[in-house]
Amino acid sequence: MNRQRVYKLIVFASGNGSNFEAIVRHIRDENLPLKVTYLLTDNPEAYALERAERLGIPSEILDYKSFDNRDEYNRALLKFLKSLDFDLIVLAGYMRILPPFIVREFWRKIINIHPSLLPAFPGLHAIEKAYKYGVKVTGVTVHYVDEGVDTGPIIMQECVKIEDDDTLETLEEKIHKVEHEIYIKAIKKVLLEN
Ligand code: GRF
């Protein structure tokens, strides 16, 4: 019997986790040969943890505040990752910057989603920055993670128009809706379409 390979994903989230849940739901609804084997968070209060429990996905909390400094936290993170077997790390609202020694260890095995059309509006509060700038088109980017902030090679992008009657809230809703569809498409492109 020819059994199909199942690719293993680890999702990193620090807060809400709506992208994490959307990925899991797409995998299940579309019966994809993908499996989220862990939700990793640096924040014990993350709502993503409740989602993981509801979805039956194991979670790992590496409480950032319990470490003496950033380097110790990142060393513990590397140790945890090295103890696992996985194909892709999926950053979905992970609010820490991965250090070069983790990025290099898992080169081209880490992807991120960013709520703007990179290279415009990198960093925090991208939706608000685009809205306040007054651009008429913004969007969502999925990219490989390199050693910079939101600078890695782009895998996929999608536009979102900002209409005259959009508020920051309606724009956020539109962006998140696009995020919840594009991330799984990009994951499929990376893992299943080579
Ligand atoms: C998303 O807007 C994502 O683009 C950004 O952080 C947000 C996470 O949202 N990197 P959620 O936690 O998945 O709901």
What are the extents of the domains in the chain? 7-192
Q: What is the mean pLDDT of the chain?
A: 97
Work out which ligand 1 atom sits closest to the CA atom of 140.
Answer: 4
pLDDT in tens, 129-177: 999 999 999 999 999 999 999 999 999 999 999 999 999 999 999 999 9
The pLDDT value given to residue 4:
85
Q: How far apart are CA 93 and CA 140, in angstroms?
A: 13
The pLDDT value given to residue 3:
72
Q: How far apart are CA 177 and CA 46, in angstroms?
A: 20
Omega of the bond prior to 58 within 30 degrees of 0, cis? no
**CA distances for 183 relative to 25, 79, 86, 128, angstroms:** 12, 27, 18, 21
**CA distances for 102 relative to 76, 77, 147, 184, 186, angstroms:** 11, 9, 9, 23, 22
Q: How far apart are CA 67 and CA 47, in angstroms?
A: 21
Report whether 179 contacts 139 (CB < 8 A).
no
Catalytic, 114? Answer yes
Q: Given CATH 3.40.50.170, say whether it is the number of domain 7-192.
A: yes
Per-residue pLDDT, averaged over 27-38, amounts to 98
The confidence band for 2, taking pLDDT boundaries of 50, 70 and 90, is low
Query: Residues near ligand 1 with C-beta < 6 Å?
Result: 13, 15-20, 92-93, 113-115, 179
Structure tokens at 90: 């999926």
The closest alpha carbon to 6, from 193, 194, 191, belongs to: 191
Work out which ligand 1 atom sits closest to the CA atom of 19.
Answer: 13
- Cα 23 to ligand 1 centre (Å): 12
